[in-house]
Amino acid sequence: MSQPDALQQATERLDVAVDQLEAFLRQVFCWSRRRRFRAALKEQVRFLTEERDRLLRDLDAEKNRVRR
């Protein structure tokens, strides 16, 4: 194999390796974004649940006040 052929093959293998690495990193970043998105959604649900519970307590307290 001549040097230009060997260089061409090495370049092609490098291109394939870089393409595979880019695809893998895109997948990793996508998974990471999904995890962050899910974590943010869980935090929002937790906040809204706590807010709902607080509003229910306030409503019950107000009902009791009105009854008296």
What do you get for the CA distance between the two ends of the chain, in Å?
98
Res 2: pLDDT: 76
pLDDT exceeds 80 at position 20? yes
pTM over 0.85: no
Residue 66 pLDDT class (50, 70, 90 cuts) = confident
* Rounded Cα gap, residues 50 and 28, in angstroms: 33
* Rounded Cα gap, residues 59 and 37, in angstroms: 32
* Rounded Cα gap, residues 14 and 20, in angstroms: 10
